[in-house]
A and B are shown apart, each in its own frame.
Chain A
Amino acid sequence: MAGDAGTAWVLRRVRPLGGEPVDVLLADGVVAAWRPAGSTGPDSDGLPPGTAFLDADGLILLPGLVDLHTHLREPGREDAETVESGTRAAALGGYTTVFAMANTNPVADTAGVVEQVWRLGLDAGHCDVRPVGAVTVGLAGQRLAELGAMATSAAGVRVFSDDGHCVSDALLMRRALEYVKAFDGVVAQHAEEPRLTVGAQMNEGVVAARLGLPGWPAVAEEAIIARDALLAGHVGSRLHVCHVSTAGSVEIIRWAKAKGWQVTAEVTPHHLLLTDDLVESYDPVFKVNPPLRTAEDVAALRAGLADGTIDCVATDHAPHALEDKETEWAAARPGMLGLQTALSVVMETMVIAGRLDWAGVAERMALAPARIGGLPSPAADAGSSIAVGAPATVTLLDPSPWRVVEADALASRSRNTPYAGRSLPGTIRATFLRGRPTVLDGKIV
Chain B
Amino acid sequence: MKGHLLSTEDLSREDALLVLDTAERMARVAEASVRKLPTLRGRTVVNLFFEDSTRTRTSFEVAAKRLSADVINFSARGSSVSKGESLKDTAQTLEAMGADAVVCRHGASGASHRLATWVRGSVVNAGDGTHEHPTQALLDAFTMRRRLGRVDGLSVTIVGDVLHSRVARSNVWLLTTLGASVTVVAPPTLLPLGVSSWPVQVSYDLDAVLPKSDVVMMLRVQRERMSAAFFPTEREYSRRYGLDVDRAATLPEHALVMHPGPMVRGMEIASQVADSARSTIVEQVANGVSVRMAVLYLLLGGGSGEVA
Contact = CB atoms under 8 A, between A and B. Distances in A.
Interface string A207-220: 11111111101000
A5 interface: no
B132 interface: yes
B106 interface: yes
A331 B166 contact: no
Contact count band on A: 20 to 34
A283 B116 CA distance: 12
A235 interface: no
Contacts of A281: 113
B194 A212 contact: no
A330 interface: yes
B54 interface: no
B110 A331 contact: no
A122 to B, nearest CB: 36
A205 to B, nearest CB: 5
B111 A207 contact: no
Nearest to B115: A328
Interface in B89-130: 106, 108-111, 113-114, 128-130
Contact of A212 (B82, B83, B132): B132
Contact count band on B: 20 to 34
B131 A211 contact: yes
A34 interface: no
B193 interface: yes
B195 A209 contact: yes
Interface string A186-217: 00000000000000010011111111111101
Given A212-B169, A282-B109, A332-B84, A327 B114 contact: yes
Given A212-B131, A327-B83, A331-B83, A204 B193 contact: yes
Given A326-B84, A327-B114, A205 B106 contact: no
A328 B87 contact: yes
Given A205-B194, A207-B194, A328-B114, A213 B109 contact: yes
A323 B84 contact: yes
A209 B9 CA distance: 12
Interface string A324-338: 101111111000000
Given A327-B87, A331-B83, A210 B109 contact: no
B193 A205 contact: yes
B110 A211 contact: yes
B192 interface: yes
A215 B192 contact: yes
B88 interface: yes
B84 A327 contact: yes
Interface in B188-219: 192-198
Contacts of A282: 109-110, 113-114
A215 to B, nearest CB: 6
B193 A215 contact: yes
Nearest to A279: B110
Contacts of B275: none
Nearest to A330: B108
A329 B9 contact: no
Contacts of A328: 83-84, 87, 106, 108, 110-111, 114
Interface in A203-246: 204-215, 217
B108 A331 contact: yes
A408 B295 CA distance: 39
A329 B84 CA distance: 9
B85 interface: yes
Given A282-B110, A327-B88, A330-B108, A210 B129 contact: no
Q: From A201, A281, A324, A329, name the one whose CB has the most chain B CB atoms within 10 angstroms.
A: A329
A216 to B, nearest CB: 11
A263 B194 CA distance: 32
B110 A206 contact: no
Contacts of A213: 109-110, 129-131
A212 to B, nearest CB: 3
Nearest to A202: B109
A212 B84 contact: no
A360 B85 CA distance: 44
A217 B193 contact: yes
Interface in A323-357: 323-324, 326-332
B111 A209 contact: no
Contacts of A332: 84
A323 B84 CA distance: 8
A332 B88 CA distance: 12
Contacts of A331: 82-84, 87, 108
Interface string A289-326: 00000000000000000000000000000000001101
Contacts of B106: 328
Contacts of B108: 328-331
Given A212-B130, A327-B88, A331-B108, 10 more contacts: A208-B193, A210-B197, A215-B194, A217-B193, A282-B110, A323-B85, A327-B84, A327-B114, A328-B111, A331-B87
Interface of B: 9, 82-85, 87-88, 106, 108-111, 113-114, 128-132, 166, 169, 192-198
20 contacts: A204-B194, A206-B196, A208-B192, A209-B198, A211-B109, A211-B110, A211-B131, A212-B131, A212-B132, A213-B129, A215-B194, A282-B109, A282-B113, A282-B114, A323-B82, A327-B83, A327-B85, A329-B109, A331-B82, A332-B84
CB-CB nearest 5 A-B residue pairs: A327-B84, A209-B194, A282-B110, A212-B131, A209-B192
